[in-house]
Amino acid sequence: MQDIIVVKVGGSAGVNYDLVCDDIAALVRAGRRVVLVHGGSGETNTLSEKLGRPPRILTSPQGFTSRYTDAETMDIFAMAIAGKMNTRMVERLLRRGVNAIGLSGIDGRLLEGPRKASVRAVIDGRQVLVRDDYTGKVEKVNAPLLRLLLDAGYTPVVCPPAASTEGEAINVDGDRAAAMIASALGAKQLVILSNVPGLLRQFPDENTLIPRIRYGELEQALSFAEGRMKKKVLGASEAIVGGVAQVVFADGRVPGCVQAAMAGAGTVIER
Nearer to a second copy, 22 or 168 (CB): 168
- H, E, C per residue of 115-144: ECCCEEEEECCEEEEECCCCEECCCEECHH
Spatial CA neighbour of 191 closest among 2, 18, 79, 24: 24
Beta-carbon contacts of 30 under 8 Å, excluding residues fewer than 6 positions away, are none
| Residue count, binding to a second copy (CB under 8 A) | 39
Nearer to a second copy, 18 or 206 (CB): 18
Tell me the pairing of strands 4-9 and 140-141.
Answer: unpaired
Closest approach, Cβ 166 to a second copy, in A, equals 7
163 part of the interface to a second copy, by CB under 8 A: yes
83 part of the interface to a second copy, by CB under 8 A: yes
Query: Is 181:37 a contact under the CB 8 Å cutoff?
Result: yes
Angle, alpha carbons 269-251-161 (nearest 5°): 80
233 part of the interface to a second copy, by CB under 8 A: no
* Contact with a second copy (CB under 8 A) among 37, 58, 101, 196: 101
Nearer to a second copy, 104 or 246 (CB): 104
Nearer to a second copy, 52 or 61 (CB): 52
Residues 104-133: x where in contact with a second copy by CB under 8 A, - otherwise, as a string: x-xxxx------------------------
Beta-carbon contacts of 9 under 8 Å, excluding residues fewer than 6 positions away, are 15, 17, 20, 36, 37, 38, 39, 193, 252
In sequence order, which ranges of the chain are alpha helices (DSSP H)? 17-29, 41-50, 71-77, 86-95, 143-151, 174-184, 218-224, 227-241, 257-262
Nearer to a second copy, 108 or 186 (CB): 108
Handedness of CA 109, 105, 198, 20 (dihedral sign): positive
Residues 39-58 close enough to bind a second copy by CB under 8 A: 47, 50-51
Nearer to a second copy, 92 or 228 (CB): 92
Closest approach, Cβ 126 to a second copy, in A, equals 33
- The interface region with a second copy, picked from 10-18, 78-86, 205-213, 236-244 by CB under 8 A, is 78-86
Gap between the Cα atoms of 171 and 5, Å rounded: 24
169 part of the interface to a second copy, by CB under 8 A: yes
Handedness of CA 85, 88, 93, 96 (dihedral sign): negative
143 part of the interface to a second copy, by CB under 8 A: no
Nearer to a second copy, 43 or 238 (CB): 43
Point out which residues bind a second copy (CB under 8 A).
Answer: 47, 50-51, 75, 78-84, 86-88, 90-91, 94-95, 99-104, 106-109, 144-145, 148, 152, 154, 161, 163, 166-169
